[in-house]
Amino acid sequence: MVRIAVVNQKGGVGKTTVALGLASAACAAGQRVLVIDLDPQANATTGLGVWEPPSTVDRALEADQPGVLASVLTLGAWVAEGEGTAPDVAASSPALAQREPQLANDPIGAQDRLQVAMEGVDHDLVIIDCPPSLGLLTVNGLFAADQALVVTEPGAWASDGVEQILRTVSRIGARRPEGLGIAGIVVNRLGRTRDARYWYEQLVETYGEQVLPPVRLRAAIPEAAAQSLPIHGLGARAGAADAAAEFDALLAAILGEPVVESGEPAGDPGAIDPGAIDPGAIDPGTLTDEPSLVAAAAPSTANGPVAVSHPIGQNGAFDGPVRPTAVAQPTPEG
């Protein structure tokens, strides 16, 4: 059994999207999957089609008994595709937000209640969707996991948070006899902008092989979540098959399995399918070809500036995010 905690203290980076994508990939491969939703927002729960669970993970944390998690599991409502299976879910609810301050009053077992509750769980893969914080719910998720998967996105603020969550994982691992591994860092919503490419390359430069195959920006992924469907079950929707293949590759990388080559190289952000990108999600300011920016980006020599054909520079190198300059507006006549 592999137990993965999906974490980042910053909200909005798509932890739940990645958690559900991995669950979809594992289910499509015929694995028995359990998703534990520790986020009081319960997005993973509703993304699995469970709207009114008979019991939730909150009850398991409250009981503080070995093996109690099995009694609160609910079968997800995903429709199995082909040989696939639907995952089990330890559902969340908004009431879970009140559990964290109560856990803080337990001087002995505040940090490992989930680990104790999971005794006897025998699924092939357990995915723990942690809340966007470093509180006791996230700490419980990390104590119950074998590995931590850090989800981020290609942006300055999100990338800055990776170092902080890695420090937290390291501290928790030091307090566990068996330690706590890093499954890797996955860059979610990798768009086709120079700014996104820059921050992606910065992460690769900083963390090297810890950076896993990215998940590209595709409209099919949030559509699947909105319909409470697995990405592997979205049918002929444009971009769905490519997104499913990316999650297959990501799961294989986490589990250390051979990656089946798809039509796109897993690690090349320049291989993004333009048709799969939502034009409304692209910042026009990052796509400017303003001549002054071209001149500023051009390298110089003793004989003067060297002309380049694009602000991104020679050989695809990019020295930093491109920011648009102010454009003077014409003065209306009379």
Report the pLDDT averaged over residues 12-23.
95
Q: How far apart are CA 247 and CA 235, in angstroms?
A: 16
| pLDDT tens profile 196-245 | 999 999 999 999 999 999 999 999 999 998 899 999 988 888 899 999 99
User: Which region among 45-54, 68-77, 225-234 has the lowest average model confidence (pLDDT)?
Assistant: 225-234
| pLDDT tens profile 246-278 | 999 999 999 987 644 433 433 444 444 444 444
Other CB atoms within a 10 A radius of the CB of residue 11 amount to 13
User: Which region among 25-34, 71-80, 183-192, 278-287 has the lowest average model confidence (pLDDT)?
Assistant: 278-287
Query: Which own/partner contact pairs does 240-243 have at CB distance under 8 Å and 24+ positions apart?
Result: 242/216, 242/218, 242/273, 242/276, 243/21, 243/215, 243/216, 243/218, 243/276
**Cα torsion through 266, 270, 274, 278, rounded to 10:** 80
Which residue from 20, 75, 18 is spatially nearest to 50, judged by alpha carbons? 75
Other CB atoms within a 10 A radius of the CB of residue 264 amount to 18
Label the pairing between strands 88-90 and 74-75. Answer: antiparallel
pLDDT at 159 over 80: no
Name the more confident of 225 and 84.
225
Question: CB within 8 A of 21, min separation 6: which ones?
Answer: 215, 221, 231, 243, 246, 247, 250
Per the listing, tokens 């337990």 go with 106
Portion of the chain with pLDDT greater than 90, in percent: 62
Mean pLDDT across the chain: 81
Residue 80: predicted pLDDT: 55
Q: Which two structure tokens, joined as six digits, stand for 212? A: 């896993």
Name the more confident of 277 and 152.
152
The CA angle 28-34-37, to the nearest 5 degrees, is 120
SS3 306: coil
Query: Taking the model in full, what pTM does it have?
Result: 0.77
pLDDT at 295 over 90: no
Q: How far apart are CA 207 and CA 202, in angstroms?
A: 9
Q: By the 8 A CB rule, do 182 and 147 touch?
A: yes
Report the pLDDT averaged over residues 327-334.
46
Label the pairing between strands 304-305 and 2-7. Answer: unpaired
Label the pairing between strands 2-7 and 147-152. Answer: parallel
- C-alpha gyration radius of the chain: 22
What's the sign of the alpha-carbon dihedral 194, 269, 133, 170?
Answer: negative
pLDDT band at 303 (very low <50, low <70, confident <90, very high): very low
| pLDDT tens profile 104-144 | 888 888 899 999 999 999 999 999 999 999 899 999 999 99
